[in-house]
Structure 1
Amino acid sequence: MKNIKIAAVVAMLTLGFTSCKDEKQEKAQKTIDSYVAYVDSVKNVKADDLKENWKTVEAEYDRKSAEANLALADIKDNTAESERINTSKAKYEEFKNEVTALFAPPAPSPKQQLRNALFGEGKIGDDMSFSWVNAQNIHSVYQQFVHTVENNKDSYSREDWDEIKVLYEALDSRKNTVEKEGLTAEDNRKIAGLKIKFAPMYTVNRMGAKAEENKDAKK
């Protein structure tokens, strides 16, 4: 009789353990299903909605992905589920690349690329404002401008040189203002040296670019 009772207790414990194990596997399965479903659902969201909420989408994806990978440990034979997770991950990465390309800002125009190179990223926009140039930084601005032109003079078109001249004259105009705001004699002297270097470089290379342009036009 005692043996029967012990056997019954063992059977109940085994049944309870098995039941608990089944529940754990079922929960893990649902977690993985949720991850796979999330990836599929994101691909059906409108582009405008994605753009507005992309950070939230990414955060939710990261959370569900981490949970799904942890859930694999609770499934005894998880080969199939592991493949499902990897497939969904590949789908999401491909989709993410498409979305990133879609939301990327348009490439700056050639004119803006030239301005960025001469003065720094976004320093000079369509408003042609040089208000950020002051007595403390104007020498370094001239320095970057002239050295950049010198390094790239052989690649500029006639149109580029025309833009360079407009920008150079605008910078010179700003210098007239800055001189009254504490520009040191030393910086003024250094800027004068850069201007002497720039003038013939501009004249010679613009003439060369124009001649090359005329030559190409005749072909």
Structure 2
Amino acid sequence: MKSRNLLLGAAVIALGFTSCKDEKATEAEKKVDTYVVYVDSIGNVAEADAKTNWEAIDASYQMRINDAEAALENLKDKEKAQERIDASKAKYAALRDKMQDDMEVKEEVSSTPAPVNSKQQLRNALFGQGKIGDDMNFSWVNKDNIHSVYQQFIHTAEDNKDSYSREDWDEIKLMYEALDSRKNTVEKEGLSSEDNRKIAGLKFKFAPMLKVNRMGAKSEEMRDAKQ
């Protein structure tokens, strides 16, 4: 009787182990299937959506591949499962490389600076790189730097006067008047009498030069148009 009970106990334990192994194998197969299906599903996602959410997609992928590879230990046919995993790995790698290449190209294009138009090039030369844009904001000009701003503006215009077109001189006149308008504000903010005197000297020399060269450029343009 005792022997029979021992045999029955051993059988129950054996069935328990078998059942446990079957459950682990079933769970392992599910994890491999989940991984393979997930990789296939990525290929069906719209490319624009995939690029936008690529970090989340890749994080989810890493979790599933880790689960699938860990599940191999509980599978009978490990080689077949490994082949499925490797095939999905290759599919994912190809998709990932394509996405990364496309995103790098997009990043390069977006980071490429737009070509600077001739008007902005002129402003950069007269005031400094990027100091004056389309907003015509002169708030950066103050009582401490306005004299040097006039110096750069006027000396640059004088040095390049022979190369300016009529449109350039119109732009220079516009910028010059805007700078003068800013000077009126700066004077009330404590512009020193010495700097004010130096600016007056620069303006005294520049004003007639601006007028003569602007008129000359217009006359030359009219002459070229008639020819």
> Does the pair score TM above 0.5?
yes
Report the alpha carbon displacement of residue 16 of structure 1 after superposing the two structures with TM: 1.0
- Cα deviation per residue 1:13-39 (whole Å; 9 max; x = unaligned)? 111111111122222233323333225
Structure 1 match to 2:133: 124
**2:64 alignment partner in structure 1:** 71
Q: Report if the CA contact (8 A) 2:31-2:64 is conserved.
A: no
Counterpart AA for 1:111: K
The corresponding residue for 1:47 is none
Q: CA offsets, 1:161-191, max 9 Å, x none?
A: 6533432343133213421332133544665
Letter in 1 for 2:63: L
Deviations 1:104-138 (A, max 9, x none): 99655321343355445374316x45456443553
Structure 1 residues 185 and 96: CA distance shift in structure 2, 3 A: same
Please state whether the residue corresponding to 1:5 is helix, strand or coil.
Answer: helix
Provide the aligned length of Structure 1 versus Structure 2: 203
Give the structure with higher Rg (CA): 2
Partner of 1:10: 17
Alignment of 1:96-111 (within 5 A): 97-98=105-106, 101=109, 107-111=115-119
**Amino acid of the structure 2 residue aligned with 1:83:** A
Q: Distance in 2 between matches of 1:132 and 1:122?
A: 8
Contact kept, 8 Å, 2:138 with 2:182, in 1: the verdict is yes
Distance change in 2, residues 1:22/1:133 (3 Å): same
What CA distance in whole angstroms lies between the structure 1 residues aligned with 2:186 and 2:10? 102
The alignment's C-alpha RMSD in Å is 4.9
1:31 equivalent to 2:44? Answer: no
1:181 has 2:178 as partner? no
**Conserved? CA contact 1:32–1:71, under 8 Å:** no
**Distance verdict in 2 for CA 1:189–1:65, change over 3 Å:** farther
Structure 2: how far apart are the matches of 1:153 and 1:3? 106
State the AA in 2 paired with 1:172. D
Query: What's the TM-score, normalizing by structure 2?
Result: 0.58
Q: Does 1:62 align with 2:55?
A: yes
Alignment partners' CA distance in 1, 2:205 and 2:87: 70
- 1:157 CA displacement: 6.5
Any unmatched runs of 5+ in structure 2? 1-6, 70-81, 222-227
Q: Which letter does structure 2 place at the counterpart of 1:125? A: D
SS of aligned partner of 2:44: helix
Check conservation: 1:117, 1:148, Cα contact below 8 A: yes
